[in-house]
Amino acid sequence: MTWPTAADLLETEEAISFVKETFAKVLAQQLHLVKVSAPLVVLDGTGINDDLNGIERPVGFPIKALDEQRAVVVHSLAKWKRLRLFELGIPAGKGLLTDMRALRPDEDYSAIHSIYVDQWDWEKHILPEQRTIPFLKATVETIYGALKATEEQVRKRFGIAPILPPTIAFVHAEHLLQRYPNLTPKQREHEAAREYGAVFLMGIGGELSHGEIHDGRAPDYDDWSTRNEDGHRGLNGDILLWNPVLETAFEVSSMGIRVDKEALTRQLELRGCSERQSLHFHRLLLADELPQSIGGGIGQSRVTMFLLRKAHIGEVQVSIWPEAVRQELAEAGIALL
């Protein structure tokens, strides 16, 4: 076992900064995004915070200066970004990019999961006629191009050989179910990522032919219920890469075309939460006051971990870990930041 030296750790910190700065710059240029500030907390009860799968508890606290009104630490900025597009008057074809910091205390620890989340959260104003699968795929290919461009810069700077395939594949969750009917969703993702190297798995959140969903999605940001040109439902998905260090599928982004008022109404009903229509965000959307948009989150620690070939997310971010995990990783020569 070789324990990392202070010089090794410093080089890692420099590499982390390089990856984050390079990718953010390329992504903003390619998607025509402007960098904006973002909140760490939002007021509770506004419908702005991301509900993720609907069961995760946000970190909350009362604010003395607001008569004890409660605020919650964001899970992500999925709905806040769309509001911000409206507030800033960003025109169609352009969007915003922000550094999102979140706390998810209900997250289960693993080599790729921490209670601290850092993402590039982005949102782009689109035209109603761009709510299509071809436009979604073109956007995914642009993001993948930014990943490959960053990987090439990492090669030049740090000598790490590129491994991403030339192109990203597109597969619907229903197709994957038909190919591997006896596997779990995560096992199906594993097979797809291993086969293609990079895959965009579409239609996550909507019911598949066996009556179940591939994975959970909140009802009020991604459109996972609209029937698309491919004959399936969903205008969203996840970018999955094959991680050779961990030898598994590796999700780096969840994204999609956002709900319009018809999809919002339908998805709230399907999830049994139509009462959300009275919340601020939802009222604006149902009144056609918010722009049509596409957006998503791209994991900063995930991308950095992948491009630097790290075995644990704690090698590229500072978080809180159980002592048993620290000890186990120390014995394997892995130093957490």
**Known catalytic residue at 238:** yes
**Known catalytic residue at 262:** no
Contacts made by residues 215-219, CB under 8 angstroms, sequence distance 24+: 215/185, 216/52, 216/53, 216/54, 217/53, 218/50, 218/51, 218/52, 218/53, 218/54, 218/78, 219/259, 219/264, 219/267, 219/268, 219/270, 219/271, 219/273, 219/276
The helix/strand/coil state of 280 is helix
What is the rounded distance in angstroms from the CA atom of residue 93 to the CA atom of residue 103? 31
Catalytic residue among 119, 253, 301, 317: 119
Backbone φ and ψ for 19, nearest 5 degrees, come out as -60, -50
Would you give per-residue pLDDT tens digits along the chain (337 residues)?
Answer: 455 565 677 788 888 999 999 999 999 999 999 999 988 887 776 666 665 555 567 778 888 888 888 888 887 788 889 999 999 999 999 999 999 988 887 777 777 888 888 999 999 999 999 999 999 999 999 999 999 999 999 999 999 999 999 999 999 999 999 999 999 999 999 999 999 999 999 999 998 989 899 998 889 889 999 987 777 889 999 999 999 999 999 999 999 999 999 999 999 999 998 998 988 889 999 999 999 999 999 999 999 999 999 988 888 887 888 788 787 777 777 777 7
Q: What b/e string do you get for 174-213 counting C-beta neighbours within 10 Å, with b at 16 or more?
A: bbbbeebeeeebeebbbebbeebbbbbbbbbbbebeeeeb
pLDDT at 8: 74
Q: What b/e string do you get for 293-313 counting C-beta neighbours within 10 Å, with b at 16 or more?
A: bbbbbbbbbbbbbbbbebbbb
- Both tokens of 163, joined, read 């491994």
**Known catalytic residue at 14:** no
**Known catalytic residue at 119:** yes
Catalytic residue among 238, 260, 317, 319: 238
Catalytic residue among 225, 254, 301, 319: 254
Catalytic residue among 191, 194, 251, 274: 251
Helix ranges, 197-322 (H): 261-270, 280-286, 300-307
> Which amino acid is located at 322 in the chain?
P
The helix/strand/coil state of 198 is strand
Catalytic residue among 82, 104, 131, 188: 104
